[in-house]
Amino acid sequence: MAALAVLFVVVGLMDDSPYASALDALDLLLTAIFVAEFTTRLAAARSRREYLRRHWIDAVAMIPVARGLRLLRLLRLLRLVRAFAGVYRALSDLERFTTHRGLLFLFTSWLAVAVISAAAFWLAESGINPNVTSPLDALWWAVVTLTTVGYGDVTPMTPEGRLAATALMIVGITLWAAITGTITSLLIEGRSGDVGIPEQIRQLEELRREQILSDGEFQSKKVELLARM
């Protein structure tokens, strides 16, 4: 179902394809599959109200959308949430990732936000923005935005594109900050072991010199360690 969700989004991206009629038929077939799956699971659920509460995204993503309506077409991107949730569950079952599920969840969420925002940007800007001629341009825009480089060669021109940019800047950059903070904590824990607090502070200073920690992060961690003494 996760693979079909990705295919569903890809079909929506292919607006100018010469196989438009075949794509429309495939679109209807995929929608029918999703509706059948959703109604079957809903009927089998112990609590239908609880099932709807936990799977409302799937219900919204099934709303039929005309290929020309840009804003409503963004709803199909919600299907990617299901795909990335499946990726997270699959990876979290691997033994090597069981002790780092928090970091795995953050990274999967960040990747989902990046991909969904890039796809939304392409759906909103293609055919309108002269700087967006392929999905790779949208992906480039997402990477530049997430890394806060800000070249400015690709910028949103439509309200839908600005909405995608807002989601990417607020959620994506926040998740990236959480990822770097978690990795820093894991590095500190891995280096500290059973050593005393003065030794841990010295290791923090090494991390700062190696530019793994910023000055602000160093001071915050140092205060936490000194509070334990």
pLDDT in tens, 150-164: 777 888 888 888 888
- Residue 222 domain-assigned (yes or no): no
Q: Are 12 and 73 in contact (CB under 8 A)?
A: yes
Confidence check: pLDDT of 191 > 70: no
Q: Are 135 and 122 in contact (CB under 8 A)?
A: yes
By the 10 Å C-beta count (0-12 exposed, 13-18 middle, 19+ buried), 179 is classed as middle
CA dist 78 and 57 (Å) reads: 6
Confidence check: pLDDT of 183 > 60: yes
pLDDT one-digit tens code per residue, 61-87: 776 654 444 555 666 677 777 777 777
Q: Are 143 and 168 in contact (CB under 8 A)?
A: no
- Residue 2 domain-assigned (yes or no): yes
- Residue 106 domain-assigned (yes or no): no
- 130 compared with 82, residue with greater pLDDT: 130
CA dist 115 and 70 (Å) reads: 18
- Residue 205 domain-assigned (yes or no): no
- Residue 165 domain-assigned (yes or no): no
Confidence check: pLDDT of 144 > 80: yes
Q: Do you know the residue count of the chain?
A: 229
- Residue 69 domain-assigned (yes or no): yes
Average pLDDT over residues 108-118: 84
* Total domains in the fold of the chain: 1
CA dist 190 and 192 (Å) reads: 6
CA separation (Å) from 80 to 41, 44, 77, 110, 183?
Answer: 19, 24, 6, 13, 26
Tokens read off for 113: 């936000």
Tokens read off for 228: 């334990």
- Residue 33 domain-assigned (yes or no): yes
- Residue 66 domain-assigned (yes or no): yes
Average pLDDT over residues 185-191: 65
Q: Which residues contact 40 (CB under 8 A, 6 or more apart)?
A: none
CA dist 10 and 124 (Å) reads: 14
What local confidence, expressed as pLDDT, does residue 197 receive? 67
CA dist 156 and 144 (Å) reads: 13
CA dist 159 and 162 (Å) reads: 5
Q: How many CB atoms neighbour CB 37 within 10 A? A: 14
Chain centroid to CA 64: how far?
24
Task: Tell me the residue range of the domain where 41 lies.
Answer: 1-93
